[in-house]
């Protein structure tokens, strides 16, 4: 075979190899593009974020880097703010958040005899709850005919949804998570920016405003804000999905009030609902029902903002020095009389 023929054979061979490499690289690029398209999906929930912009000509007290509340902690060890009276300027933050044109969804459950608390809840909310901002209450009840007529303020509205009656108050309490999961996933995705879930047997006594907004918001339980963690009534049985080991935990959060962005609250309610279903399949009920699962979730998924017991006080206790204002509180009631299975 001549030298010229050998050269042509070698040239053809390398041409085939080069073509193969180009094909493989092109195919891999297309695969990578497909993978990227699958991973980077446009988020379903869009939280407005215009930054913390103020406006000219607004006068408010000068903030201080040295002077503030010294009798309470105003930040957690993971640098989330704890909201107390004296830690924010209401005038300034209202101006900042007014520019964002926010909608705050708020869910309330009133089944059976709990409808008696609706009037006081709604009337007091209209005096103190996100006044001047857009609020949409979603009321779930088995007795829609007993919902009182309460005049809503400007940009405040109420939607009543009928739900089935239940024989156990524990089932009513735990069933909220599934309803909230579906509500945040479907209807509210494009209608609200934040959501709070509040107990109905409560009353507002003071401002509850935009200082409470955050991605994931927990409220410190008024019975446990000033005690060591070994007193917290976490679920300590390993068999339960709500299990928190003894000697661990940050704060004890109330199940009567929590909230955040739609995305974050959806993740919370979905996880709690899934864990409660696993417990139910194993004939286990956590010590404090959905509150136990809420505490498990907030222990491993740290809240971005915590509300002090000002934002949920207890109806059986005198005030303490650290609580300078009661904004929201349970009302006195006879549990044995209003709960269906007691």
Per the structure, the count of domains in the chain is 1
Identify the band that residue 176 occupies on the pLDDT scale cut at 50, 70 and 90: confident
Is 24 part of a structural domain of the chain?
no
Question: pLDDT tens across 233-267, in order?
Answer: 999 999 999 999 999 999 999 999 999 999 999 99
Percentage above 90 pLDDT, the chain: 68
The pLDDT assigned to 43 comes to: 44
Binding residues for Mn(2+): 199, 201
291 is catalytic: yes
Is 16 part of a structural domain of the chain?
no
Phi–psi pair at 256, nearest 5 degrees:
-80, -10
Binding residues: 114, 199-201, 221, 233, 291
pLDDT at 123 over 90: yes
Is 20 part of a structural domain of the chain?
no
Question: pLDDT tens across 190-204, in order?
Answer: 889 999 999 999 999
The pLDDT assigned to 57 comes to: 80
CA distances from residue 30 to 26, 40, 246 in whole angstroms, order as listed: 6, 15, 51
Is 40 part of a structural domain of the chain?
no
Is 280 part of a structural domain of the chain?
yes
CA distances from residue 330 to 161, 281, 319 in whole angstroms, order as listed: 23, 32, 14
Catalytic residue among 235, 290, 291, 310: 291
Identify the band that residue 306 occupies on the pLDDT scale cut at 50, 70 and 90: very high
Question: Residue 101 belongs to what domain range?
Answer: 82-338
Is 76 part of a structural domain of the chain?
no
State how far the Cα of 146 lies from the Cα of 12, in Å rounded to an integer: 87
Three-class SS of the chain = CCHHHHHHHHHHHHHHHHHHHHHHHHHHHHHHHHHHHHHCCCCCCCCCCCCCCCCCCCCCCCCCCCCCCCCCCCECCCCCEEECCCCCCHHHHHHHHHCCCCEEEEEEEECHHHHHHHHHHHHHHHHHECCCCEEEEEEEECCHHHCCCCCCCCCEEEEEEECCCCCCHHHHHHHHHHHHHHHHHCCCCCCCCEEEEEECCEEECCCECHHHCCCEEEEECCCCCCCCHHHCCCECCCCCCCECCCCCCCCCEEEEEEEEEHHHHHHHHHHHHHHHHHHHHCCCCCCCCHHHHHHHHHHHCCCCEEECHHHCECCCCCCCCCCCCCCEEECCCCHHHHCCCC
pLDDT at 209 over 90: yes
CATH of the domain at 327: 3.90.550.10
Mean local confidence (pLDDT), 98-108? 95
Is 33 part of a structural domain of the chain?
no
The pLDDT assigned to 41 comes to: 45
Let me know: does 193 contact 97? Beta carbons within 8 Å.
Answer: no
The pLDDT assigned to 173 comes to: 56
Percentage above 70 pLDDT, the chain: 79
Q: What is the pTM of this model?
A: 0.83
Is 56 part of a structural domain of the chain?
no
pLDDT at 5 over 70: no
Binding residues for UDP-N-acetyl-alpha-D-galactosamine: 114, 199-201
Mean local confidence (pLDDT), 214-230? 96
Identify the band that residue 212 occupies on the pLDDT scale cut at 50, 70 and 90: very high
pLDDT at 121 over 50: yes
The pLDDT assigned to 187 comes to: 86
Question: pLDDT tens across 20-44, in order?
Answer: 544 445 444 444 444 333 443 444 6
pLDDT at 17 over 70: no
**Which stretches of 186-284 are DSSP H helices?**
262-281
């Amino acid at each position: 075979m001549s030298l010229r023929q050998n050269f042509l054979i070698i040239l053809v061979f390398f041409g085939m190899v080069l073509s193969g490499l180009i094909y493989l690289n092109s195919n891999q690029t297309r695969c990578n593009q497909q993978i990227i398209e699958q991973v980077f999906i446009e988020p379903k929930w869009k939280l407005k974020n215009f930054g913390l912009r103020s406006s000219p000509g607004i006068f408010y007290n000068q903030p201080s880097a040295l002077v503030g509340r010294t009798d309470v902690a105003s930040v957690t060890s993971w640098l989330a703010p704890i909201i107390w009276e004296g830690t924010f300027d209401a005038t300034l933050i209202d101006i900042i958040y007014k520019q964002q044109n926010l909608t705050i969804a708020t869910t309330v459950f009133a089944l059976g005899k709990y409808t008696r608390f609706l009037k006081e809840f709604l009337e007091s909310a209209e005096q103190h709850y996100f006044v001047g901002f857009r609020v949409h209450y979603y009321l779930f009840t088995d007795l829609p005919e007993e919902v009182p007529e309460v005049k809503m303020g400007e940009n405040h509205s109420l939607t009543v949804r009928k739900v089935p009656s239940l024989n156990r108050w524990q089932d009513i309490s735990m069933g909220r998570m599934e309803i909230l999961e579906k509500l945040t996933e479907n209807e509210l995705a494009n209608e609200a920016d934040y959501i709070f879930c509040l107990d109905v047997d409560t009353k507002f006594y003071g401002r509850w405003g935009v200082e409470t907004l955050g991605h994931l918001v927990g409220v410190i339980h008024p019975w446990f804000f000033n005690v060591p963690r070994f007193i917290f009534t976490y679920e300590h049985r390993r068999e339960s999905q709500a299990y928190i080991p003894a000697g661990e935990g940050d704060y004890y959060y109330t199940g009567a009030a929590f909230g955040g962005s739609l995305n974050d609250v959806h993740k919370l309610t979905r996880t709690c609902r899934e864990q409660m279903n696993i417990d139910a399949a194993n004939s286990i009920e956590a010590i404090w029902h959905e509150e136990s699962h809420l505490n498990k979730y907030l222990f491993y998924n740290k809240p971005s903002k915590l509300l002090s017991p000002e934002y949920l006080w207890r109806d059986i206790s005198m005030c303490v020095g650290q609580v300078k204002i009661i904004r929201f509180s349970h009302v006195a009631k006879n549990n044995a009389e209003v709960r269906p299975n007691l």
